[in-house]
Amino acid sequence: MNVMTTHPHSLTGRRILLIISGGIAAYKSLDLIRRLRERGADVRCILTAGGAQFITPLAVGALSENKVYSDLFSLTDEQEMGHIRLARDCDLVLVAPATANIMARMAHGLADDLAATVLLATDKPVMLAPAMNPVMWANTATQDNIALLKKRGVHILAPASGDMACGENGTGRLPDVMELVEAVALFFDGAAPLRGLKALVTSGPTHEPLDPVRFLGNLSSGKQGHAIAAALAQAGADVTLISGPVQEAPPARVRLHRVTTAEEMLAATLKALPVDIAVCAAAVADFRPAEAAADKIKKSGSEGMTLQLVQNPDILHTLSHSNQRPQLVIGFAAETDAALDKARDKLARKGCDWLLLNDVGNGKVFGEDQNTVTLLKRNAKGDVTAEPWPAMDKRALACRLVAQVAETVAAAG
């Protein structure tokens, strides 16, 4: 497959109204402004009273190089740009971070400050990037408000998972800044560059049973695979996610199949064919016990035991050589030494088009929120290129990968 080099999507000439509501994640909006402007966007900002508790109007104004709006009843602001004009003189209204409070007020049509009034008065597309405590995010009231807003056509980005500023862990973090920028770029590029295409993603570990209570497995969390599935769905693809045992919440708009073993994952993968794009991000166990014990294995009094293992099916190789081979097949390689040489060898042996290399020496990557990869690509002539990517949030990495997938599939025609 011929592969084009991806260039960052331009936002030149796009007018974005950024609403910054209260919450510790408000500090990320400063980098968001800078990144949007780097791509050519004109960014105007509304800073709520809550947002101003975390960042200053001076900092927002300095980065946006535009006046910062905050007061609904400011006569000066009304003379220069009234709230109606502010609501209409943009191409997109982006709320980042979007607190549970501002989403509730938006859902119920309140207009008790400038931000809420603009959201009620705008006739432009609205995109929300929620950020809040995990329990607040999961609360029925919040989920009901989100469902109502989605029904009205509001674009809502899924929050990230991980450690929160409050000390808790769960879903509710503001997505990575570059993920937000990519979401905005994809919106203006047609919002769904992969619409009409089918994608398959494998994610997480497999567990190969030794007996009813023990298994062979690995430390894969599924964070990267799930993030890729979410990014593909956000780009408009019809996504099937086949996941081993993980704690990650299933992404929105994704068809999820839960499996346990490598054989189950292979069966589900073949059943999902045909697809246009396949991303094998799962850390599939290479071996399984030749025979799983029906009952819990007891100590026999000896100092050890011998375990007979057999090789598991090779899902990536099977997909790459299937008579229903996807247009683009992407694999992952986790290596601890001589990583690049082993990744090149794996790319050739498996027959896939791209391979993302993770250096997992010293326990890196598995279970973490960040990832560092080298992307290897094999073109139609068999030539291989290797592009190191900087360390980034796994969700941002997923967006970057999907952006390249979208451009490559479009170029292939």
pLDDT in tens, 133-142: 999 999 999 9
Strands (E), 137-283: 155-156, 160-163, 169-173, 198-203, 208-211, 214-216, 238-243, 254-258, 277-280
Q: Are 35 and 111 in contact (CB under 8 A)?
A: no
Active site residues: 166
- pLDDT at site 3: 29
* Mean pLDDT, 10 residues at a time, the chain of 413 residues: 40 92 94 95 96 96 94 64 78 96 96 94 92 94 94 89 76 90 82 86 96 90 93 89 92 90 97 97 94 85 80 96 96 86 93 90 68 90 90 85 88 69
* Token pair of 44 as six digits: 């105007």
- pLDDT at site 192: 72
Distances in whole angstroms, Cα of residue 275 to Cα of each of 6, 29, 265, 282, 383: 23, 37, 16, 17, 25
- pLDDT at site 337: 79
Cα–Cα distance measured from residue 321 to residue 326, given in angstroms and rounded to the nearest whole number: 10
Query: How does DSSP assign 369-380, residue by residue?
Result: SEE-EEEEEE-T
User: Kind of pairing, strands 198-203 and 238-243?
Assistant: parallel
Cα–Cα distance measured from residue 344 to residue 51, given in angstroms and rounded to the nearest whole number: 48
Q: For the chain, how are helix, strand and coil distributed in percent, rounded to 5?
A: 35, 25, 40
Cα–Cα distance measured from residue 201 to residue 194, given in angstroms and rounded to the nearest whole number: 15
Cα–Cα distance measured from residue 308 to residue 291, given in angstroms and rounded to the nearest whole number: 8
- pLDDT at site 4: 29
* Token pair of 9 as six digits: 């999507």
pLDDT in tens, 173-202: 998 898 899 889 888 876 578 888 999 999
**Average confidence score pLDDT of the chain:** 88
Domains of the chain in sequence order: 15-188 (3.40.50.1950), 198-288+308-412 (3.40.50.10300)
Cα–Cα distance measured from residue 12 to residue 35, given in angstroms and rounded to the nearest whole number: 12
CB proximity list for 275: less than 8 A, separation 6 or greater: 198, 199, 200, 240, 326
